[in-house]
Chain A
């Protein structure tokens, strides 16, 4: 496992097999991060600029020792984030408020509060992109190859080595004195690094080009297919990947269905059956009939016994009456509702019975018949069985009786102790 031992290696060791070209620079190894910092300071003080330190982790204090300027990355990120915010808001404004104005839940077309979450996310996204890609670009990475990679020693920089490399292109660089400086700075080994003289080492292998071109061409295929589909027409039917969703095994309402002789998908109610909860056996309550005496049905005169008659029921009756009956019969029951009056102004005739006329038919009707009229209609009046539940119909009957009483009130209806106030 431990294939690197720093004690084995001698200074100026050179790779045996590889031929060496021009001198690229020297690489010195130090034992601890602290010594690396000190050496970096000495190298900088000696006037070198083209040098760098290499370590397995960021050594704190080395930036100052080497004189590295603070990176401009934060400024770029601020710019990136601001652009992200503007683009995010612009996207939402242009799509939802300008290009296709779209009213959602009564909110303004351009409603900033609802656009902030996405604006925030795009801000972060562009900041992150700027940070990530900005950092690699500023670091000039990815870089496939570097001369120092030729040295075995350099492979240990990602493990435990603290290295300092000075490049030959530095104005102050002299092979001998530079090595001497590094040794004096405490290096445990100093090594020269030469460039590879072979010409093929400087060119990219051909197979890499082949891979890049093939990948590029393959990547274009989907776009080509889309472009072709957009430019041409086709008589082929739509391709259904999941047939079950598109063609479901069911008969839609009012559609034909050949299984039945009449070819109708809709089937009627089967004779002799009832839907659950619709038996309504109590004739008195559900139909207003009385079977008292001989057992033959007759209209119920009073209200059904199962009905609890109180102020609440009367209030309910008024409310339902005002909704369903008053448009024609009027709030007072005199048959002059909004509709007859309107029809009259248009020159037509709309008859609505006066419910409260003491001589009229309604006043003489038994309660059961009145209930039946509400349920099933009479003459031109339609039945309200579908709209008004049974109990509410009885409530309306009750209220109509109250109206008849109220509209025909006489002095005897005034409480005794108030009679002399009425004139």
Chain B
């Protein structure tokens, strides 16, 4: 790669342009994905699958709107089931993107530059997929605008003391912030695309999106401050979002829902599942689009390590919950946790524990952190486990609540499953389009962390 150019003339008199070759190489490596006339065949295949899944989802949601929530497996007892499980699952997936773009930026982890753009995009798409569920789970999505406070003839206002309203504000703030942060990060790279485009249409589109960016030092100065501030704002925001999601459950009195550790525990779980999803997507993508020298093995390894760490945090929270259920002497708490383990949904509980606590332990071995197939398989297991975690919390607490007379079982219908698959279709379709048409790697940031970025400095 480009480093060869440097090392060859490091001892001789410096050749003009050697440093710049490195930067040019970065530009080329990223831009070819969008510039090549035809993407790889695998991309078309993946797009076909994703769009079919999306269409299935559209069909299921259409039927749902026409016929009502009855087409799902929900019942009086299990009022929240796959809908909210999927919602929490997708919101969680999104958190890794913000963690990479904000928290790792604040802690000066320069390896983040190779994946932050794609991870931020993933955040936005995951939040979009998540946002569908709270809206459709009401059964009357055409009244969703009632949640926006506005003066109206009914003289009604949203009920701001409800955690569900907090959700509306948290998720929309999160979506807006993620989009703005993502777009702002992309502007210099869109300018690169603008300057490289040859067709008029591309020049116009990328030109408008690049806002006339010139890369001037005075602009970079404010841009960098703004980037830092957005990172500093996104960090508490990302904590607040999943905390608010956890409040939906924890403010209630239902055993299994009401526990004070939920906010940090949900956040850790969200990051955990999000990183698993980033890896599931990026490991194949770096082969498919030949980005292995930008998204390096060490970056993949670092993400695997974050998966172990957050997986253990989740495990610690499971342990504390169990211990406190016993310690409290509260019969309902104790029953709920015993029921999770040995009740009718014991298999969901064991799927959750084995996928979330045991399976990530394989990442202690370097072999597992470097073999792409093992990584993908383990990450898929983590995602399955995190989905089950939400189902265990939501489903099994409801099927066996205080009143034995309202105990019931839950099983999903075709429309439950179809809607879930559809949300995957939406997510993947958007992700594939992003990969084809937008700068998938933060070009300017990757250039900034190359050793050559300091070339020629006196001190």
Contact = CB atoms under 8 A, between A and B. Distances in A.
Interface of A: 1-2, 6-7, 31-35, 37-38, 40, 52-63, 66, 68, 70-71, 73-74, 77, 91-92, 95-96, 99-100, 102, 104-105, 107, 111, 114-115, 117-118, 120-122, 124-125, 127-128, 131-132, 134-136, 138-139, 141-146, 148, 154-162, 188, 241-242, 244-245
Contacts of A118: 160, 165-166, 169
B216 A53 contact: yes
Given A2-B24, A34-B456, A68-B218, A121 B169 contact: yes
Contacts of B456: 31-35, 38
Given A34-B456, A241-B142, A56 B211 contact: no
B217 A135 contact: no
A55 B220 contact: yes
Contacts of A148: 214
A77 B21 CA distance: 39
Contact of B240 (A31, A121, A144, A162): A121
Contact of A56 (B23, B67, B161, B233): B23
Contacts of A6: 16-17, 20
Contact of B217 (A62, A122, A136): A62
A156 B456 CA distance: 20
Nearest to B17: A6
Contact of B214 (A146, A188, A244): A146
Given A31-B16, A63-B217, A241-B142, A104 B225 contact: no
Contacts of A55: 215, 217, 220
Interface centre among B23, B188, B236 (most CB of A within 10 A): B23
B230 A156 contact: no
Contacts of B443: 56
A76 B194 CA distance: 31
B159 A124 contact: no
B262 to A, nearest CB: 14
Contacts of A74: 225, 229
Given A100-B156, A135-B222, A117 B217 contact: no
Closest 3 CB pairs of A and B: A34-B456, A32-B456, A95-B157
A143 B240 contact: no
Contact of A143 (B66, B155, B212, B220): B212
B19 A73 contact: no
Contact of A68 (B23, B217, B226, B448): B217
Contact of A71 (B156, B180, B222): B222
A105 B236 CA distance: 29
B66 A128 contact: no
Nearest to A152: B195
A139 B213 CA distance: 9
Interface stretch (B37-45, B170-178, B380-388, B392-400): B170-178
B247 interface: yes
| Chain B: interface size category | 35 or more
B1 interface: no
A56 B240 contact: no
Contact of B457 (A34, A66, A100, A242): A34
Nearest to A127: B233
13 contacts: A31-B16, A56-B443, A57-B453, A59-B220, A104-B162, A117-B170, A121-B166, A121-B169, A124-B173, A143-B211, A146-B214, A159-B27, A162-B20
A95 B149 contact: yes
Contact of A158 (B17, B215, B452): B215
Given A57-B220, A105-B161, A135-B225, 4 more contacts: A56-B443, A96-B161, A124-B240, A128-B230
Contacts of B321: none
B237 A124 contact: yes
Nearest to A120: B240
B158 interface: yes
Nearest to B62: A242
Nearest to A163: B215
B222 A31 contact: no
A95 B448 CA distance: 49
Contacts of A111: 161
Given A32-B455, A54-B216, A188-B16, A117 B166 contact: yes
A10 B456 CA distance: 23
Contacts of A58: 217, 220-221, 223-224, 444, 448
Contacts of B192: 56, 158-159
Contacts, number: 237
Nearest to A35: B456
Contacts of B223: 58, 135, 139
Interface centre among B142, B223, B247 (most CB of A within 10 A): B223
B196 interface: yes
A155 B157 contact: no
A5 B212 CA distance: 24
B28 interface: yes
Given A54-B215, A96-B160, A160 B229 contact: no
Contacts of B32: 1
B447 interface: yes
B198 to A, nearest CB: 9
B454 interface: yes
A394 B18 CA distance: 101
B264 interface: no
A57 B458 contact: no
Contacts of B156: 100
A144 B213 CA distance: 9
Given A55-B220, A96-B160, A7 B20 contact: no
B161 to A, nearest CB: 4
B134 interface: no
B315 interface: no
Contacts of A96: 157, 159-161
B345 to A, nearest CB: 28
A1 B28 contact: yes
B215 A157 contact: yes
Nearest to B180: A132
A53 B20 CA distance: 16
Nearest to B247: A117
B191 interface: yes
Contacts of B458: 34, 37-38
A128 B233 contact: yes
A159 B195 contact: yes
A95 B140 CA distance: 24
Interface centre among A34, A56, A62 (most CB of B within 10 A): A56
B53 interface: no
Given A56-B444, A95-B158, A7 B16 contact: yes
Contacts of B173: 121-122, 124-125, 128
A158 B214 CA distance: 8
A118 B161 CA distance: 9
Nearest to A113: B161
Contacts of B362: none
Contacts of A66: 217-218
